[in-house]
Amino acid sequence: MTAATPAGQLDPVRPAPVRRAGAGGPAAGPVVRRVAAQVRAVRGWLVLVPFLAFVGVFLLWPTAAVLVRSITPGGAFGLSALERAVSGPYRSAFVNSLTLSAVTALLGGVLGLALALAMRGLTRPRWLRPALDSWSSVASQLGGVPLAFAFVAAVGTQGIVTKALLGVGVDLVGSGFSLSTTAGMALVYLYFQVPLMFLVVSPAVEGLRSTWQEAATVLGAGPVRYWRTVAGPVLAPSVLGGMLLLFINAFSAYATAYVLSSSGQLVPLQIRFVLQGNVITGEQDLGYALVTWTIALLGAGLLLVQALQRRAARWSRA
């Protein structure tokens, strides 16, 4: 972008050297160039304006409104709503959400990484890699109601797989398995967590140079030592960053959880109860406080992801 724009800009100015070669004044060149540079700078900002306006209207303004509402319960400044949002039943909602997110981030992270490592350097069959890539891009974005119902139709109490297993003597429901338990929901979440992790760490895994392993071997390091001192540290920031991303992804998942467990003690569902229900009224401040805590948690997570990504970028630049 930056390389292309000046080249285009220079075109109208190009006659200047010709004039200079003739009888024309040499002073025109620098002035024109300075003005052109200023126009470029202004234009650089101007093209950003729609984006900034968009971010302002649809991200910053609502966020600020939520923050303000959560610290002014009932119209006056106070922290009572923020305190209530992390006590009693709401505290357990945070605990449950954090547990579910941590479990699926850890499991999804490990499985996604394993998948990426298994695919590294695999060239045959040739169709496998593109197929896996496109499936991952689709599956990592496939959350919400359709995914939840796919699982309900498969392993719900009346699901096809459940009924088939019952036919061969395995009673899934009787054994206590249910999609609305934390374990059941974690299973559904993994469906989008694993491919997301695969997409996120694949570039880092592909970036491991075979020459590093050769060099380590030449210097006398076994595979364990190579992984512990070379590949491990190189991959660590990407892997941790990927897992954090999965954590954030799971924490904010809403529609999937709502279908699987309409009575779930999860933060996104509690926000719905107080802001959008038919029963609880006048608890908007509590809802905004729950959102504020969620924003704080996810914001901290995103900052960490960025820090880790900067670390990871060091290796790809080298």
Partner 1 sequence: MRKLPLLVPLTALALTLSACSASSEAASDTGTTTAGDATTCGTTVDEIAAAAKDEGTVNLIALPDTWANYGGILKSFTDTYGIDAPVANPDASSADEITAIQTLRGQADMPEVVDVGASFTQQLIDEGYAEAYKPTVWDEIPDALKDPEGRWVASYYGVMAIATNTTIVKDAPTTFADLEDPQYKGQVTLNGDPREAGAAFGAVMAASLANGGSFDDIMPGIEYFAGLKASGNLQSVDVTEATLLSGEVPIALDWTYNFPGIEPQLKDAGFDLQVTVPTDGVYGGYYAQSVVTESAHPCSARLFLEHLVGDDGALGYLEGGAIPARYATLVEEGKVDADLAKNLPDADTISKIEFPTQEQIDAAKATLAEQWGPLVADK
Q: Which residues bind partner 1 (CB under 8 A)?
A: 43, 46-47, 49-50, 53-54, 56-57, 88-90, 92-93, 96, 149, 152-153, 156-159, 173-174, 176, 178-180, 258-265, 269, 272-273, 275-283
C-beta of 58: minimal distance to partner 1 in Å?
A: 10
Q: Which of 202, 206, 162, 215 is nearest to 184 (CA)?
A: 162
Quote the CA–CA distance of 96 and 266 in Å, as a whole number: 6
Where are the alpha helices (H) located in the chain, listed in sequence order?
Answer: 4-13, 15-21, 28-55, 61-71, 80-84, 88-119, 128-141, 144-155, 160-167, 182-206, 210-218, 223-226, 232-252, 255-260, 267-276, 284-317
Q: What is the DSSP string of 174-186?
A: TTT--TTSHHHHH
Instruction: Please list, in sequence order, all residues whose beta carbon lies within 8 angstroms of the beta carbon of residue 267, skipping any fewer than 6 positions away.
Output: 93, 94, 97, 251, 290, 293, 294
- Between 27 and 76, whose beta carbon lies closer to partner 1? 76
C-beta of 238: minimal distance to partner 1 in Å?
A: 36
SS (H, E, C) 141-162: HCCHHHHHHHHHHHHCCCCHHH
C-beta of 237: minimal distance to partner 1 in Å?
A: 36
What are 89's two structure tokens? Answer: 């039943």
* Residues 160, 153 contacting (CB under 8 angstroms): yes
What are 225's two structure tokens? Answer: 């030592």
C-beta of 254: minimal distance to partner 1 in Å?
A: 13
User: What φ, ψ does residue 304 adopt, rounded to 5°?
Assistant: -60, -45
C-beta of 248: minimal distance to partner 1 in Å?
A: 24
C-beta of 279: minimal distance to partner 1 in Å?
A: 5
- Between 229 and 262, whose beta carbon lies closer to partner 1? 262
- Between 65 and 215, whose beta carbon lies closer to partner 1? 65
C-beta of 300: minimal distance to partner 1 in Å?
A: 25
* Residues 82, 289 contacting (CB under 8 angstroms): yes
- Between 94 and 198, whose beta carbon lies closer to partner 1? 94
- Between 87 and 229, whose beta carbon lies closer to partner 1? 87
C-beta of 123: minimal distance to partner 1 in Å?
A: 43
* Residues 190, 143 contacting (CB under 8 angstroms): no
C-beta of 37: minimal distance to partner 1 in Å?
A: 17
Cβ count near 272 (within 10 Å) = 17
- Between 54 and 212, whose beta carbon lies closer to partner 1? 54
- Between 111 and 173, whose beta carbon lies closer to partner 1? 173
- Between 33 and 272, whose beta carbon lies closer to partner 1? 272
Collapsed DSSP state (helix, strand, coil) of residue 305: helix
- Between 136 and 162, whose beta carbon lies closer to partner 1? 162
